[in-house]
Structure 1
Amino acid sequence: MTESRPPAFLLTTGEPAGVGPELSVAAARRFAASADGSARLVLVGDAGLLDTTAARAGVTLRELPHVEMLHVPLAVPATPGQLAVANGPYVVATLQAAADAALTGTADAIVTAPVHKGVISDAGIPFSGHTEYFQHHAGVEQVVMLLAGGGLRVALATTHLPLRAVPDAITQEGLGRVLRILHDGLRDRFGLATPRIAVCGLNPHAGEGGHMGREEIDVIEPALRTARAAGIDAAGPFPADTLFVPAHVAPFDAVLAMFHDQGLPVLKHASFGHGVNITLGLPYPRTSVDHGTALDLAGQGVADPGSLFEALDLAVEMVARGRQARPATGT
């Protein structure tokens, strides 16, 4: 990839029956309004669907400056609010097209509108989420889901797992990888030279000295000692119910929660609709919205595009920071 060309941001437009297409059109209009030729936005999805969606909003996509489309055809026509299993493979095809472009260097970052995991799985495609899909596609051993918003950054040691599977999925080695990726991501993607990370315990009261579980003693504390010896500023494990008190969390740049619903309810309470989901550990920046497909709002023009706007803005910042850190490599 050459650093002299304008960066390209690929926006996958999500579940075609959800709010993704209309939010993507809103993001394209906003992007074009401030476009100066220093970047390109590429909408990844069915061109006819996007044109129709844009027309309902009074927008002609093909006239927006520095906005392009990467056409991926629908299997069947999409109706707002009505899922079609036949379009499950279409959604995955949009993700593959974007991921291929990012890995080959023709795109600099991926921003994703929401998808519906259930309809993809119903189509016979095992799919647990964007995060896991991009990890598998890139062939990386580990990625970290980080959500940012409301003055908080919350990362997850485990992602989309049944609660009964979480303790077995948390290991010293795995936590060590997560902490390294989180530390490096905060430094490289967010520009924090010496990030401070607070780590939640798994059990109530962080195990209370082993009386409510030994995962803190046997797994988390040894992983933190190893991480600190490697130069990572990671403190804890802290009881999750008090860590998020503003005075307690304020000194830290990010919190590492042990499972999905331990950390994300707090962050979404503080920022829902304007938070950003980030995948750390990929060879390119990837950001996304903090909400789902909102089928009940689709096609009405009332869905709030704030989270997608924030996700695109953060991707732009990340790419700019990365380019500033690297010398130009020619034309």
Structure 2
Amino acid sequence: MTGPAPLALSMGEPAGVGPEIIAAAWTALKAQGPVFVVVGDAALLRAQGRPVQTVLTVADAAAVFGRAIPVLDIPLPAAVVAGRPESANAGAVADWIEQAVNLVLSGEASGVVTAPIAKAPLYAAGFRFPGHTEFIAELTADAPFPGTRGPVMMLTAKDLRACLVTIHSPLAEVPELVTVERVCRTARVVHEALKRDFGVATPRLALAALNPHAGEGGAIGLEEVEVLAPAVEILRAEGIAITNPLPADTLFHDDARASYDAVVCLYHDQALIPVKTLDFWGGVNTTLGLPVIRTSPDHGTGFDIAGKGVARADSLIAAIRLAGQMAAARAAL
């Protein structure tokens, strides 16, 4: 297998489904790749019943990958019980993420894939970030980046790329948070990422409206008139192809998806409902606008099913494949 450097896959919450879906993903990808190296606890991964080999460098992973899961071993300090997170292991979980990011910043790895984390044990141990996205943004803040800085969250499912202006904000706060500046920054990040990371030469963006029927000219809300239309005007003046704000209820059917390369959505469920309807098991969360490529499965730690052997690896497999495709696109620039 040739191509970009291996991906760095952080193991995530050790008491969740991460170890088992990583093992399943390796089984699915060992013949064709993309090659990845796990940053985590080798003993925990070995307990999943797949061959595991510790490596000293990322460069060693390619020679190992076809016969065993390559692991940069950073052992956990406390025992792991499936389904029961332990805050004593939170420091190691954060360290795995940081090490994976550093491997990409140093050029040893081509992208980061993150298995799901549990926020409560991390917070109990003093972790001060809302999640992966903000932590990785902080870790890469000083790295050079020739574009508009994110982070912007993109969710992908089949042929849909849905990007978010606001993420985990209460719905009552969304109208105030959707500003001309935020819409423009999100669209710039997405436009640049489509060219840089997805090989789309002339990106076409769609913009979802906030109100029903796109506000009916101001009769059902003024955000389309006062915020979204001015943002569209600014973006078009910069050469970005973007639609007028369109009713969200007509943006996601088959013919509509064929008319754009990505859609800019204004709040969480506006993007997540169509993504999970299209491909509930295979959706991917991608962070755009950072010096490192980062993808993750679009699901949580699954404490209720951890250790039972029933967790599906579809989303992690899709995340690894997408990270490999994005790394290849960046390498081709």
Q: Same fold (TM over 0.5)?
A: yes
Task: Say yes or no: does 1:241 pair with 2:236.
Answer: no
Structure 1's 205 and 86: CA in aligned 2 closer, same or farther, altered over 3 A? farther
2:51 corresponds in structure 1 to 60
Structure 1: 5+ residue stretches without partners:
326-331
Match runs of 1:71-150 below 5 Å = 71-139=73-141, 141-150=149-158
Structure 1's 32 and 200: CA in aligned 2 closer, same or farther, altered over 3 A? same
Normalised by the length of structure 2, the TM-score is 0.88
1:45 corresponds in structure 2 to 40
Question: Secondary structure at the residue paired with 2:198?
Answer: coil
Question: Secondary structure at the residue paired with 1:48?
Answer: helix
Match runs of 1:168-187 below 5 Å = 168-187=176-195
Q: C-alpha separation between the residues in 2 aligned to 1:49 and 1:119?
A: 18
Question: Secondary structure at the residue paired with 1:65?
Answer: helix
Q: C-alpha separation between the residues in 1 aligned to 2:165 and 2:11?
A: 28
Letter in 2 for 1:234: I
1:192 corresponds in structure 2 to 200
Structure 2: 5+ residue stretches without partners:
55-62, 143-148
Check conservation: 1:120, 1:127, Cα contact below 8 A: no
Task: Say yes or no: does 1:309 pair with 2:317.
Answer: yes
Question: Secondary structure at the residue paired with 2:101?
Answer: helix
Which segment is superposed worse, 116-125 or 311-320?
A: 116-125
Q: C-alpha separation between the residues in 1 aligned to 2:212 and 2:4?
A: 49
Q: C-alpha separation between the residues in 1 aligned to 2:247 and 2:88?
A: 45
Q: Deviations over 1:111-155 (max 9, x none)?
A: 111112233223332232222221122117422111111321111
Q: Deviations over 1:163-188 (max 9, x none)?
A: 23322322212211111110111112
User: Offset of 1:34 from its aligned partner?
Assistant: 3.1
2:278 corresponds in structure 1 to 270
Q: C-alpha separation between the residues in 1 aligned to 2:278 and 2:214?
A: 23
Q: C-alpha separation between the residues in 2 aligned to 1:118 and 1:266?
A: 28
Structure 1's 200 and 316: CA in aligned 2 closer, same or farther, altered over 3 A? same
Structure 1's 126 and 164: CA in aligned 2 closer, same or farther, altered over 3 A? farther
User: Offset of 1:5 from its aligned partner?
Assistant: 8.5
Q: C-alpha separation between the residues in 2 aligned to 1:324 and 1:40?
A: 18
Q: C-alpha separation between the residues in 2 aligned to 1:75 and 1:111?
A: 23
Question: Secondary structure at the residue paired with 1:62?
Answer: strand
Q: C-alpha separation between the residues in 2 aligned to 1:172 and 1:27?
A: 41
Structure 1's 105 and 83: CA in aligned 2 closer, same or farther, altered over 3 A? same
1:279 corresponds in structure 2 to 287
User: Offset of 1:6 from its aligned partner?
Assistant: 5.4
Which segment is superposed worse, 23-32 or 281-290?
A: 23-32
2:11 corresponds in structure 1 to 13
Structure 1's 129 and 236: CA in aligned 2 closer, same or farther, altered over 3 A? farther
Q: C-alpha separation between the residues in 2 aligned to 1:62 and 1:86?
A: 25
1:32 corresponds in structure 2 to 30
Normalised by the length of structure 1, the TM-score is 0.88
Letter in 1 for 2:14: P
Alpha carbon RMSD of aligned pairs, Å? Answer: 2.1
Aligned residues: percent identity? 42
Q: C-alpha separation between the residues in 1 aligned to 2:274 and 2:120?
A: 25
1:329 corresponds in structure 2 to none
Check conservation: 1:112, 1:288, Cα contact below 8 A: yes
Check conservation: 2:295, 2:319, Cα contact below 8 A: yes
Question: Secondary structure at the residue paired with 1:21?
Answer: helix
Instruction: Give the count of matched residue pairs.
Output: 315
Given candidates 319, 327, 330, the residue that maps to 2:327 is: 319
Which segment is superposed worse, 227-236 or 242-251?
A: 242-251
Check conservation: 1:155, 1:257, Cα contact below 8 A: yes
Which segment is superposed worse, 113-122 or 217-226?
A: 113-122
Q: C-alpha separation between the residues in 1 aligned to 2:221 and 2:102?
A: 44
Q: C-alpha separation between the residues in 2 aligned to 1:124 and 1:206?
A: 43
Which segment is superposed worse, 156-165 or 290-299?
A: 156-165
Which segment is superposed worse, 115-124 or 96-105?
A: 115-124
User: Offset of 1:246 from its aligned partner?
Assistant: 2.9
2:146 corresponds in structure 1 to none
Q: C-alpha separation between the residues in 2 aligned to 1:5 and 1:246?
A: 33
Letter in 1 for 2:239: G
Structure 1's 161 and 305: CA in aligned 2 closer, same or farther, altered over 3 A? same
